[in-house]
């Protein structure tokens, strides 16, 4: 199985990046897409996370918010849960929003390069 893994699915790449988000920090959909190697696919990142199942407990999806620091999941009914999970790890959520200057995480493209494919 050496080289068949050459092309991981889009979904796998996205989840890898999300798993790399430090506890107590958050990032946005666009950044996840960029780090995953798929620029401009922020919406697809949301689609992937939407498809997560309860068994995917190792994916800290709550650490992904929109570019304005807002909780986008209220729109699909899991907003309250996301807020609870974030506050549980020390991230303050004021008026359904997170202060990106304080909690934002963005390692930059160099980080993505260092990640093993």
Q: Does 109 bind DNA (CB under 7 A)?
A: no
Structure tokens at 31: 């950044």
User: Which is closer to DNA, CB of 47 or CB of 84?
Assistant: 47
Q: Is 18 in the site for DNA (CB under 7 A)?
A: no
Size of the site for DNA (CB under 7 A): 31
Residues 6+ positions from 27 with CB-CB distance below 8 Å: 21, 63, 64, 65, 104, 105, 106
Per CB under 7 A, 85 contacts DNA: no
Contacts of 46 (CB under 8 A, 6+ apart): 29, 72
Q: By rule CB under 7 A, what string of x and - marks binding of each residue 38-77 to DNA?
A: x-xxxxxxxx-xx-x--------xx-x-xxx---xx-xx-
Q: Give the integer Cα–Cα distance in Å for 42 and 52.
A: 16
Of 3, 4, 9, 55, the one binding DNA (CB under 7 A) is 9
């Amino acid at each position: 199985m050496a080289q068949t893994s050459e092309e991981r699915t889009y979904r796998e790449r996205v989840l890898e990046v999300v798993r790399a988000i430090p506890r107590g920090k958050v990032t946005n959909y666009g950044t996840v897409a960029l780090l995953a190697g798929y620029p401009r696919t922020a919406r697809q990142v949301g689609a992937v996370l939407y498809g997560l199942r309860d068994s995917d407990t190792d994916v800290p999806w709550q650490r992904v918010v929109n570019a304005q620091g807002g909780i986008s999941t209220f729109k699909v009914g899991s907003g309250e849960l996301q807020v609870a999970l974030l506050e549980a790890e020390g991230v303050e959520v004021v008026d359904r929003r997170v202060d990106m200057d304080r909690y934002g995480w963005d390692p930059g493209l160099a980080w993505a390069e260092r990640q093993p494919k």
